[in-house]
Structure 1
Amino acid sequence: MTVLPETLLLTPAEMAAADAAAAASGIDTYGLMEKAGQAVAASALRHYPQALRFVVLCGPGNNGGDGYIAAAGLIRAGADTRVFAIGDPGRLTGDARRAMEACPVKPVASSQLQLGPGDVVIDAIFGAGLARPVSAEVEDLIFKVRNAGIPVVAVDLPSGLCGRRGAPLGAAFRAARTVTFMARKPGHLLMPGRSLCGDIEVCDIGIPLRILRRAAGTVAANHPDAWRHLLPTPDPASHKYRRGHLGVFSGGASHTGAARLSAGAGLAAGAGLVTLASPADAMPVNAAQLTAVMLREVETAAALKDWLAASKLSAFVLGPGFGVGDKARDFVLALEGRPLVLDADGITSFREQRNRLFDIYRAREAPLVLTPHEGEFARLFPDLVEAEGQSKFEKAVAAARLANAIIVYKGADTVIAAPNGRTLINDNAPPWLATAGSGDVLAGIIGALLANGMPAFEAAAAAVYLHGEAATRAGEGMTAESLVQHIGPLSG
């Protein structure tokens, strides 16, 4: 069997192209359907041995065909199985019709569905390619199953969920398990789709990897395979100056904590030196709470330029707790396109003057990494937020091209996008990472990897993944301070 790459992610259109290419190469498409249906039956039996009855809901296309084959497999295994058709099964064609005719149990109309304790539903109504709102018939089924409180095993994707955007199209099943084939789809990773899929199994049904890779576009899952080879690794000749010098900018005396989190994270993530550039009134506050992180007074843009002229600095983080306004803009302009992670207040400071920021990094090929959460993204890219029918990763790519920057569009489904369209969707962050200060920690990790010379896209992607790993190690109940203490080398 093929070992499928962990990064592999195909949009519904790309998966359809892979299916067509497999058929054109001479692969038996009914054989693929048989393997898919058998994988679903095997998963259902393995995870629900206590089921009293399997209820298979079969749709009007190939997803329904998978369902008929799954039903046949369940029956052969001795399980009590009923099949319900959505639409007229007599209108099925091709492989799906063949699967329906081979099923030992004939389908009955979905209007006759009655559910009871011990039932397990196999949702084989629609696959990942659904692009329109579900019908009233399917919506009624979704609510009937939901109200019954019984487990659902989804075939490919929970019916009603957009495979490209991860958004419900009117209504969608909430699955306990989803069995998909050859590759995950963006809708498996993007929220709220991920929360509707339950545990996801990717089953190899025999499409050659060369066909999948040829069909794949520029979006993939964020996994160490995409950037592990570029991670900085200390060697016996390493010293602090070779590992980069990260500069982090502090806010005033009452707003210093966020920048200290970034600075501490930068040091923990491998920067050789970290200096917290602080205004005069914040110097005593920061000095009282820093040890390995160095401190320098930088009050004005002129003082910043003097520091840049006198010191060799590799990368910068600006924004956490810094304050919104002219000073933030002046500092960014003074950095003259040096490698920069712009976060929080730094992003908001350019909401009315974004072209000033974009022009700096368009003219100079130095890396700019923008790390907006949903609200900050809306402030800087209001035109993109309002785009109808666009997925989160498509909006992130559009923003990256507009800004000539790496975009880290944060959330439970953080998306990392580059101006060339390359995109990674992250899915290793535990829910407790949504806590005050965690974004400041992420900015510091990205800054450390940039300071080490890692390319900006890979630095951002690696930082997002390592951030999630640190949160998993820290455990539920973590704070941003304890998160910093769990930043460490890539595990596994």
Structure 2
Amino acid sequence: MLLLTPEEMGRADRLAAESGIDSYGLMIRAGHAVSAAFLRLYPAALRADVLCGPGNNGGDGYIAAEALKQAGVEVALFHLGDPENLKGDARRAFQACSIDGKPVEDYRPAAGAVIIDALFGAGLQRPLSDALCMLISQVNEAAEPVIAVDLPSGISGLTGKVQGAAFSAAHTVTFMRAKPGHFLLPGREHCGRLDVFDIGIPQRILEEAGGGHHLNGPDLFASALPALTASSHKFRRGHLGVFSGGPSASGAARLSATAGLRTGAGLVTLAVPPNAAMVVANQVTAVMLKAVPDVAALDEWLEDKRLSAFVLGPGFGVGEKARAFVSALASRPLVLDADGISSFADEPDALFALLSGADPHCVLTPHEGEFARLFPDIAADDNIGKPEKARRAAERANAIVLYKGADTVIAAPDGRIAINANAPPWLATAGSGDVLAGIIGGLLAQGTPAFEAACAGAWLHGQAAKRAGEGLTAEDLPNHLPPLSGVS
């Protein structure tokens, strides 16, 4: 589940060399992995067109080209810049390649060929030249299959952003560990099928080189999920409080409450304005009701120490009441979503002050617009990607930040980052975020730590959508949540 940024992968390469591992041997294995992918995926291809860049990615390409020639494949080789200027292992790979190359500017895609993109890989952080953008556009328009080495050229391995233009690969072959750019949008859409090959760098070196980036999945949170025992009863399974808006705005909170119950909270109570009680009572059964008209009533309710977590925001309404309720709840495990976030748009520092000085126990779940309202300067920084934005926001807020989207990112103030990539596109439907808030709240209520609850919530949300299938509505999601006992 560990992801390596391009900088971290470079550090891993250096550490491997310092430990005595032959770096050129690693390049040979990488190039052979590319050639093997070509032979496996496209046995009937008429030709391999190998585009080699001016660095180690190009070195992988030269190795792959020579291996394909030795396997009897017709190979056409094209190089960016003068290959005589190559250094180190890339130069050795070029010298070991017996194929005469041509300048990449001369390349034109041809029918029946498979293109191996070994121009830049994951480390690119600058826009491509106009000439390369035109070449990439021609290749993409020709729709001939592309195998990308490490990452499609033009995609940042750190942020997933397109640097002017990028190949649309059918397959991407990377080495040892995937990079954030493989899963962040729009990079993910350019990678096609991703294969990760082990070329021989030990796990201990990867862990020493790596930081806090992970692909979200059960390895991150399964050990923190609640487990039922013979002595379990409803109060031991936690009591979740979910706050509702008025009579015409209770649907979002009801979705959250149902999701919290389905996730395993022993009791769930909807806290409603008195004028919404009868409307909500006609819509719920296992979820309990509590009239909480104001902060005084909330303070009285909070004297019940069996209440273990809360969800505030879905359909609640934006304004002073929301801010006052958050102030009363700030020391308790809390999912702050939607209107709860927007209520602090004009004074985000007031929210951050409420959450400061304690271990992070609040989960903020902003979408793009809400994130920009709460963290305007971070959102406007085009020099950093979504993971770094989420990390900085989490540090500032002293909270877990679940930055929603098709490439949801979860970040903790201590630097842990998880990129969630299991959500199908049909999850983008009204009310799905309310369900997500309820799932996380249900886990918090059962004692799951905030970062793990947020990671598990995002992953379970995606799995429920896959199980429900295309055409789902938010009401379908809670009924398709996988059982926690089966998550591993």
| TM-score calculated relative to the size of structure 1 | 0.97
8 A contact 1:86–1:138 mirrored in 2 = no
Superposition pairs of residues 143-154 of structure 1, within 5 angstroms: 143-154=137-148
Moved more, 301-310 or 358-367: 358-367
Alignment partner, residue 206 of structure 1: 200
Report the alpha carbon displacement of residue 140 of structure 1 after superposing the two structures with TM. 2.1
CA distance in 2: counterparts of 1:364 and 1:283, whole angstroms: 35
Match 2:272 to one of 262, 278, 281:
278
Q: Confirm or deny that 1:86 pairs with 2:84.
A: no
Distance 1:307 1:59, change over 3 A: same
CA distance in 2: counterparts of 1:13 and 1:310, whole angstroms: 50
Match 1:22 to one of 11, 16, 20:
16
Match 1:62 to one of 36, 43, 56:
56
Any idea what the Cα deviations from partners look like across 1:26-65, whole Å, max 9, x if unmatched? 1111110010001011111111223221111000111001
Alignment partner, residue 409 of structure 2: 415
Alignment partner, residue 349 of structure 2: 355
Alignment partner, residue 264 of structure 1: 258
3-state DSSP class of the match of 2:111? coil
CA distance in 2: counterparts of 1:366 and 1:135, whole angstroms: 45
CA distance in 1: counterparts of 2:475 and 2:330, whole angstroms: 32
CA distance in 2: counterparts of 1:472 and 1:125, whole angstroms: 36
8 A contact 2:35–2:64 mirrored in 1 = yes
Alignment partner, residue 171 of structure 2: 177
Any idea what the Cα deviations from partners look like across 1:312-362, whole Å, max 9, x if unmatched? 200000000111111111111122421110000100001112222211221
3-state DSSP class of the match of 1:164? coil
Residue ranges of structure 1 left out of the alignment (5+ in a row): 1-6
Report the alpha carbon displacement of residue 398 of structure 1 after superposing the two structures with TM. 0.7
Q: What is the aligned-residue RMSD (CA, Å)?
A: 1.2
3-state DSSP class of the match of 2:414? coil
Report the alpha carbon displacement of residue 460 of structure 1 after superposing the two structures with TM. 0.7
CA distance in 2: counterparts of 1:365 and 1:102, whole angstroms: 56
3-state DSSP class of the match of 2:372? helix
CA distance in 2: counterparts of 1:108 and 1:159, whole angstroms: 19
3-state DSSP class of the match of 1:83? strand
CA distance in 1: counterparts of 2:112 and 2:412, whole angstroms: 48
Q: Confirm or deny that 1:377 pairs with 2:371.
A: yes
Report the alpha carbon displacement of residue 224 of structure 1 after superposing the two structures with TM. 0.9
CA distance in 1: counterparts of 2:350 and 2:479, whole angstroms: 37
Q: Confirm or deny that 1:430 pairs with 2:424.
A: yes
CA distance in 1: counterparts of 2:5 and 2:228, whole angstroms: 38
3-state DSSP class of the match of 2:123? coil
Report the alpha carbon displacement of residue 295 of structure 1 after superposing the two structures with TM. 1.0
**What amino acid maps onto 1:443 in structure 2?**
A
CA distance in 2: counterparts of 1:24 and 1:304, whole angstroms: 61
Alignment partner, residue 117 of structure 2: 123
Alignment partner, residue 396 of structure 1: 390
Q: Confirm or deny that 1:101 pairs with 2:63.
A: no
8 A contact 1:305–1:334 mirrored in 2 = yes
Report the alpha carbon displacement of residue 491 of structure 1 after superposing the two structures with TM. 4.4
Match 2:150 to one of 145, 156, 181:
156
Report the alpha carbon displacement of residue 116 of structure 1 after superposing the two structures with TM. 2.2
Report the alpha carbon displacement of residue 485 of structure 1 after superposing the two structures with TM. 0.9
**What amino acid maps onto 2:73 in structure 1?**
A
CA distance in 2: counterparts of 1:147 and 1:336, whole angstroms: 54
Any idea what the Cα deviations from partners look like across 1:211-266, whole Å, max 9, x if unmatched? 11000011211121111111101111111110000000111111111101000000
Report the alpha carbon displacement of residue 364 of structure 1 after superposing the two structures with TM. 4.2
Report the alpha carbon displacement of residue 310 of structure 1 after superposing the two structures with TM. 4.1
Q: Confirm or deny that 1:294 pairs with 2:288.
A: yes
3-state DSSP class of the match of 1:232? coil
Report the alpha carbon displacement of residue 374 of structure 1 after superposing the two structures with TM. 0.5
Any idea what the Cα deviations from partners look like across 1:241-297, whole Å, max 9, x if unmatched? 100000001111111111010000000011010001111221121111101111111
CA distance in 1: counterparts of 2:62 and 2:365, whole angstroms: 46
CA distance in 1: counterparts of 2:44 and 2:274, whole angstroms: 68
CA distance in 2: counterparts of 1:366 and 1:451, whole angstroms: 15
Alignment partner, residue 336 of structure 2: 342
Report the alpha carbon displacement of residue 137 of structure 1 after superposing the two structures with TM. 3.0
CA distance in 2: counterparts of 1:392 and 1:279, whole angstroms: 37
Q: Confirm or deny that 1:328 pairs with 2:322.
A: yes
**What amino acid maps onto 2:62 in structure 1?**
Y
Identity %: 61
**What amino acid maps onto 2:455 in structure 1?**
A
Report the alpha carbon displacement of residue 365 of structure 1 after superposing the two structures with TM. 3.8
8 A contact 1:134–1:171 mirrored in 2 = yes
Moved more, 111-120 or 321-330: 111-120
3-state DSSP class of the match of 1:122? strand
**What amino acid maps onto 1:447 in structure 2?**
G
Alignment partner, residue 237 of structure 2: 243
CA distance in 2: counterparts of 1:366 and 1:310, whole angstroms: 22
Alignment partner, residue 361 of structure 2: 367
**What amino acid maps onto 1:393 in structure 2?**
P
Alignment partner, residue 485 of structure 1: 479
After superposing on structure 2, the runs of 4+ consecutive aligned residues of structure 1 that deviate more than 6 Å are: none
3-state DSSP class of the match of 2:121? coil
Report the alpha carbon displacement of residue 388 of structure 1 after superposing the two structures with TM. 3.2
Report the alpha carbon displacement of residue 487 of structure 1 after superposing the two structures with TM. 1.0
**What amino acid maps onto 2:458 in structure 1?**
V
Alignment partner, residue 36 of structure 1: 30
| TM-score calculated relative to the size of structure 2 | 0.97
Distance 1:267 1:218, change over 3 A: same
8 A contact 2:360–2:399 mirrored in 1 = no
8 A contact 1:248–1:275 mirrored in 2 = yes
**What amino acid maps onto 1:154 in structure 2?**
A
Alignment partner, residue 47 of structure 1: 41
CA distance in 2: counterparts of 1:474 and 1:491, whole angstroms: 17
Alignment partner, residue 193 of structure 1: 187
CA distance in 2: counterparts of 1:111 and 1:362, whole angstroms: 56
CA distance in 1: counterparts of 2:8 and 2:36, whole angstroms: 27
Aligned length: 486
8 A contact 2:360–2:450 mirrored in 1 = no
